[in-house]
Amino acid sequence: MEIFYLVLAVIAIIILTTKLKVHAFLALFIISILYGIFAGMPYADIIVSINEGFGGTLGKIGLIIVLGVIIGAFLENTGGAFAIAEKVLKIIGSKRVPTAMGIIGYIVSIPVFADSGFMLLHPLNKSLSKKAKISIAGPAIALGLGLMASHTMVPPTPGPIAAAGILDADLGLVIAFGFPTSIVALIVGIIFAKRYASKTYIEPEVDNALVAEKEIKDSPSALKSSIPILVPIVLIVLKSVLNPTRTGLDNGFIDFINFVGEPVISLLIGILLCLLLPKKLNYDMLSSTGWVGKAIKDAASIILITGAGGIFGKILQNSGIADILGQTLTEYNMGIFLPFVLAAAIKTAQGSSTVALVTAASIIMPMMSSLGFDSEIQKALVVIVIGAGSAVVSHANDSFFWVVTQMSGMNVKTGYRLFSLGSGLLGLTGAITVFIFYTIFA
């Protein structure tokens, strides 16, 4: 009955968030409590699970999400993201538009939300497609898949950070495996865009297509813009690599790296480096109505959803279903593909990659030991394979699907044939890559 109630709970979350348009925070919170009641949990245990699930999860990653979103806001508003895009374009070559847009999207989406990233880069995409006299379909799909690859599989984007916090995974290892996994998926996505999507001709509209070129003038250099992204990532990875429990080393330098490599501290350093990006630093940017204030408001929704996901996971854990479900699922011997299938089902059904990441991680969390995912590497790979699943498949219930298709002039049928298929291929490639890593390292 507990498994039956879990299936009903997931279906209820999907119906509430898609059909009834209930906010994912309320949906997860209410369904968590109802599940606990129907599963026969004592009322006192339900209350304890709510407090521990919400507080424990956000205690680990709430600040990280806020700091990451603030870095993204600075890159977006200063034109830093555009500067990085322009540099990549010069290296790749303006004639290789789909390849360039895929790589640009991948880089920009590490600190900037995928939806914002596409809107930010779309004028540049139109301009380049027009100059190269090619269909905008190929570059648009490459850009969308590039944004999605890092958005779902590479911290410090909020979804992977939230999943890592719920599963108590080493963020450095998630980054270390997430980069190569997402890059392999990106390469396949770019090939798909060039070989398949580009064959569908869609005329690039030229109105306002050169806005991007104007914005480049006042933006910081590409190198300067990259520093707030690269420094936190390097520090987090260094902390993981030089961890005393792994290396046996223990001295003042290692202690310092462990301090600055803590995600909260490293991302705070990233924000301080962001202060160097504006041509002239205006303290209104840091106010509650400025860039920082808007970024915190944007982060609030993700934080609440993540906290509610933590409640769901804690109630599942304390209800005893983890052992039952773990034993049942291990009989099917799906291994590392189980979290992928779960995340893909939730993503396809309700549309949000972040909700899919959080919900799948919350369901898997209490079963980690019974499924054999005990080591730090295994935990990191589970986070990434859930991220790969959260890309499968983007369609009409996903806001990003509409951003990509409507801004690129695609009708719904074309969007399904190009972007939905591409996102499925992207996620499946990521899952296969994780499976290879799991076979080698775990």
Provide mean pLDDT across the span 226-251.
78
Rounded to whole angstroms, the Cα distance separating 347 from 372 reads: 24
Span 311-362, pLDDT tens digits? 887 887 788 776 666 566 656 778 899 999 888 888 887 778 888 898 889 8
| pLDDT per residue as tens digits for the range 396-414 | 778 788 888 888 888 888 8
Per-residue pLDDT at 269: 93
The confidence score (pLDDT) of residue 405 equals 87
Buried b (16+ CB within 10 A) or exposed e, 199-226: eeebebeeeebeebeebeeebbebebbb
- Cβ partners under 8 Å of residue 18, min gap 6: 349, 350, 351, 397
pLDDT at 421 (0 to 100): 96
The burial class, CB within 10 Å (0-12 / 13-18 / 19+), for 180 is middle
Residue ranges of domains in the chain? 2-441
Q: Tell me the C-alpha to C-alpha distance, in Å, between residue 5 and each of 144, 151, 216, 350.
A: 36, 31, 54, 19
pLDDT of 87 higher than 50: yes
d(C-alpha 182, C-alpha 201), whole Å: 28
The answer on pLDDT for 287 being more than 70 is yes
The mean pLDDT of 183-192, rounded to a whole number, is 97
Look at residue 262 in the predicted model and tell me its pLDDT. 85
Nearest to 68 by CA among 239, 266, 237, 223: 266
The pLDDT assigned to 194 comes to 94
Find out whether 354 and 130 touch, Cβ atoms under 8 Å.
no
Could you write out the three-class secondary structure of 82-134?
HHHHHHHHHHHCCCCHHHHHHHHHHHHCCCCCHHHHHHHHHHHHHHHHHHHCC
At residue 211 the predicted structure's pLDDT band, cuts being 50, 70 and 90, is very low
pLDDT of res. 212: 47
Please give the pLDDT value at position 345.
Answer: 85
**Selected residue with higher pLDDT from 354 and 128:** 354
pTM of the model: 0.76
Report yes or no: 410 and 394 within 8 Å, Cβ to Cβ: no
Distance CA 296, CA 68 (A): 10
Tokens 């407090």 belong to: 51
Nearest residue to 215 via CA among 120, 292, 342, 281 = 120
pLDDT at 210 over 50: no
Q: What is the mean pLDDT of the chain?
A: 85
- The share of the chain scoring above pLDDT 90, in percent, equals 34
Q: What is the pLDDT of residue 330?
A: 57
Highest-confidence range of 91-105, 179-193, 270-284, by mean pLDDT? 179-193
Measure the CA–CA gap between 120 and 101, rounded to whole angstroms: 12
- Cβ neighbours, 10 Å, residue 324: 16
317 vs 432, residue with greater confidence? 432
pLDDT at 277 over 60: yes
Which pLDDT band, with edges at 50, 70 and 90, does 186 fall under?
A: very high
